[in-house]
């Protein structure tokens, strides 16, 4: 079946009629049900409609959905954008912590009883129409009045037909329960509070990146804290619409609300949803919906999608993809401390039935990463990246562009490279060394010395960080997937640190601090101290004596790293 806008989601839970309205009345009483409804409406109206109307619709590259998220290349002003909030409770207009224009359901007897709206149906409808009409651009006002002048625009049955007008309106939509426990469109033109300065400073203080009155520490770590905080909610450092949505979701979650915040950016072409379920989770759940082209070399995924009939456009390999994410608490001693978010699941949505196809790996495929790296070093990669947030670089036809692409690639995938298998990393090393250390490139790199050194520093950091990651595993008495005892823990730690100290010619303070912290944790293990270190030599077995000797070596190595750190700080 050829997919068109008309037959999209025509066999799903919420089916459209010819006039754009839904074929059955909509009565939704839970956030989960509202989300299923809005998924259908928003995907159809905000992703599929522009996809079918614009031959050059900018599909989302799979890497754009992979944390850490990159800054937007540019804004597509002809594409839709919106934001919205939904509350699993009735609205309390004066008590709400944000501003919006309220809409009243005609049959909401609670509103009538409180005198907040006129009990006459026609007058309630007129007030709602007036509230929405005044917030529309003038070009839309008359057509809106003619189309909806006699309808209760707060009822969800009309929401799909309202979308073209809501998308022309500034600011956010609001959903809430009415007095009967059903969701309705409860407000428009909402402004989400965005206390960005205070949130960044509070969060930075909590994770130990800021200190009161320390301007140098604040300047050094501000961008890290800002980026980490935003990524927890699914965004890079980005536009006001998405920033305010993220911070409002943060505020509502702290208040224990059951809510859903959703936002579509004209630049990212991605519907991002943050869901707070009023539970003990430290952060709201995050997921994204986008139209993505599956890479041609992902043969297994392409075969599964094709056999199940899940392509939106088979020839162009386009699918509707939903990605769910898992947040991570900040850990200053973890070598991947910048990892705020990771991919939890990926689902392809059927464009007709709305059913999902899971167990796929479209955006997090190691082979794709490696092939792309190969293409970059060979100068065969075509695409765009943003170099250091302020320069758009297209294609890899010169060594300067290749180095900039490499820097962006290593920055994007840094924490994945640190965590992936030895086999994958060995292939990465082979490709990078063949390019960065090739005598044929010495002359070109000589003219690009500063850029070359920046790429090499990023590469060196990843190499050292992988060793520190192994040290983290050793601390937990695991090594390369194998459970180990204290005897081998100390032996492996000593061997690893002995080799690592000779690589500190490329010094990275965060890695050295992690090494010291992990080493100290090992040395302060109470069972280790009580069972081996605090006992006399004549009370120990040969294995116990070996543990004691390696413990002494580890003490010396940790002291050496402390000395290196002190020397570097004095020199700085």
Asked if pLDDT for residue 110 goes beyond 70, the answer is: no
Q: How far apart are CA 88 and CA 29, in angstroms?
A: 8
Nearest to 106 by CA among 90, 124, 89, 92: 124
What single DSSP character describes residue 283? S
Q: Tell me how far apart the alpha carbons of residues 215 and 373 are, in angstroms, rounded to a whole number.
A: 39
Please determine, for residue 433, whether its predicted confidence score (pLDDT) is greater than 80: yes
pLDDT of 109 above 60: no
State how far the Cα of 556 lies from the Cα of 542, in Å rounded to an integer.
22
The confidence band for 19, taking pLDDT boundaries of 50, 70 and 90, is: low
In percent, the amount of the chain with pLDDT more than 90 equals: 56
Which pLDDT score, from 0 to 100, does residue 117 have? Answer: 46
Tokens of 59: 């599909």
pLDDT at 14: 85
Check whether 419 has a pLDDT greater than 60.
Answer: yes
- The closest alpha carbon to 475, from 454, 457, 487, 490, belongs to 490
Q: Pick the residue with more confidence: 396 or 74?
A: 396
Please give the model's pTM, rounded to 2 decimal places: 0.84
Mean pLDDT (the chain) is 89
What distance lies between CA 312 and its chain's CA centroid? 24
| Residues whose CB falls within 8 Å of the CB of residue 413, separated by 6 or more in sequence, listed in order | 369
- Rounded to 5 degrees, what are φ and ψ at 292? -125, 140
Q: Which of 5-19, 31-45, 321-335 comes out lowest in average pLDDT?
A: 5-19
User: If you average pLDDT over residues 112-128, what whole number do you get?
Assistant: 66
pLDDT tens-digit readout, 554-568: 999 999 999 999 888
For range 50-54, the mean pLDDT: 94
β-partners of residue 342 are 326
pLDDT at 116 over 50: no
| Residue 18 confidence (pLDDT) | 62
pLDDT recorded at residue 531: 92
Give which of 11, 65, 20 is closest to 41, Cα–Cα.
20
Q: What is the pLDDT of residue 266?
A: 87
Percent of the chain residues topping a pLDDT of 70: 96
Positive or negative, the CA dihedral 357, 359, 362, 367 is negative
pLDDT above 80 for 365 = no
Whole-angstrom distance, CA of residue 569 vs CA of residue 556: 20
> 72 pLDDT exceeds 80?
no
Quick: pLDDT tens for 91-101. 999 999 999 99
Angle at 550 between CA 547 and CA 553, to 5 degrees: 155
Cα separation of 394 and 386, whole Å?
9
Question: Using one digit for the tens of pLDDT, what is the confidence trace for 145-201?
Answer: 988 888 888 999 999 999 999 999 889 999 999 988 999 999 999 999 888 999 999
> What is the spatial distance between Cα 44 and Cα 46, in angstroms, rounded to a whole number?
6
Question: What is the tens place of the pLDDT at every residue in 472-510?
Answer: 899 989 888 889 999 999 999 999 999 898 888 788 888
Q: Which residue has the higher pLDDT, 156 or 111?
A: 156
Q: Is there a cis peptide before residue 68, judged by omega within 30 degrees of 0?
A: yes
Rounded mean pLDDT of 287-297? 92
């Amino acid at each position: 079946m050829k997919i068109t806008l008309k037959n999209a989601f025509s066999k799903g839970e919420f089916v459209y009629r010819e006039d754009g309205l839904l074929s059955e009345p909509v009565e939704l009483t839970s956030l989960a049900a509202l989300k299923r409804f809005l998924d259908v409406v928003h995907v159809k109206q905000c992703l599929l409609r522009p996809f079918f109307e614009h031959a050059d619709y900018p599909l989302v590259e799979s890497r754009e959905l992979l944390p850490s998220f990159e800054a937007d290349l540019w804004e597509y002003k002809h594409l839709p954008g919106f934001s919205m909030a939904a509350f699993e409770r009735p609205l309390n207009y004066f008590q709400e912590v944000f501003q919006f224009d309220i809409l009243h359901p005609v049959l909401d007897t609670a509103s009538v009883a409180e005198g907040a709206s006129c009990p006459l149906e026609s007058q309630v409808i007129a007030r709602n129409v007036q509230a929405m009409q005044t917030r529309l651009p003038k070009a839309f006002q008359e057509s809106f009045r003619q189309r909806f002048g006699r309808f209760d625009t707060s009822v969800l049955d009309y929401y799909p037909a309202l979308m073209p007008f809501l998308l022309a309106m500034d600011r956010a939509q609001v959903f809430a329960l009415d007095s009967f426990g059903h969701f309705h469109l409860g407000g428009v033109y909402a402004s989400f509070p965005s206390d960005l300065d205070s949130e960044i400073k509070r969060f930075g203080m909590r994770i130990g990146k800021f200190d009161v009155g320390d301007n140098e520490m604040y300047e050094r770590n501000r961008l890290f804290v800002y980026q980490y905080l935003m990524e927890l909610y699914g965004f890079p450092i980005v536009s006001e619409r998405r920033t305010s949505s993220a911070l409002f979701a943060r505020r509502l979650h702290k208040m224990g609300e059951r809510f859903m915040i959703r936002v579509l950016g004209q630049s990212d072409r991605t519907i991002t949803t943050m869901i707070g379920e009023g539970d003990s989770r430290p952060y709201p759940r995050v997921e994204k919906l986008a139209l993505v082209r599956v890479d041609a070399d992902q043969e297994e995924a392409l075969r599964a999608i094709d056999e199940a009939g899940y392509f939106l456009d088979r020839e162009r390999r386009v699918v509707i993809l939903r990605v769910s994410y898992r947040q991570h608490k900040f850990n200053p001693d973890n070598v991947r401390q910048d990892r705020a978010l990771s991919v939890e699941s990926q689902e392809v949505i059927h464009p007709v039935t709305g059913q999902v196809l899971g167990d796929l790996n479209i955006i997090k495929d190691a082979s794709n990463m490696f092939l792309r790296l190969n293409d970059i070093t060979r100068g065969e990669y075509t695409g765009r990246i943003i170099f250091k947030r302020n320069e758009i670089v297209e294609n890899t036809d010169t060594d300067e562009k290749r180095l900039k692409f490499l820097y962006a690639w290593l920055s994007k995938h840094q924490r994945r490279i640190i965590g992936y298998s030895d086999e994958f990393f060995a292939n990465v090393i082979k490709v990078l060394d063949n390019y960065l250390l090739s005598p044929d490139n010495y002359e070109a790199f000589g003219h690009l010395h500063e850029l070359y050194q920046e790429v090499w520093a990023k590469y060196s950091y990843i190499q050292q960080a992988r060793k520190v990651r192994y040290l983290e595993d050793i601390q937990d008495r695991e090594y390369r997937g194998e459970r180990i005892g204290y005897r081998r823990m100390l032996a492996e730690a000593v061997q690893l640190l002995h080799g690592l100290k000779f690589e500190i010619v490329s010094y990275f303070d965060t890695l050295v601090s992690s090494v010291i912290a992990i080493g100290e944790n090992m040395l302060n293990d109470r069972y280790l101290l009580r069972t081996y270190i605090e006992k006399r030599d004549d009370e120990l077995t040969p294995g116990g004596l070996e543990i004691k000797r390696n413990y002494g070596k580890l003490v010396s190595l940790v002291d050496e790293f402390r000395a290196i750190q002190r020397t570097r700080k004095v020199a700085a």
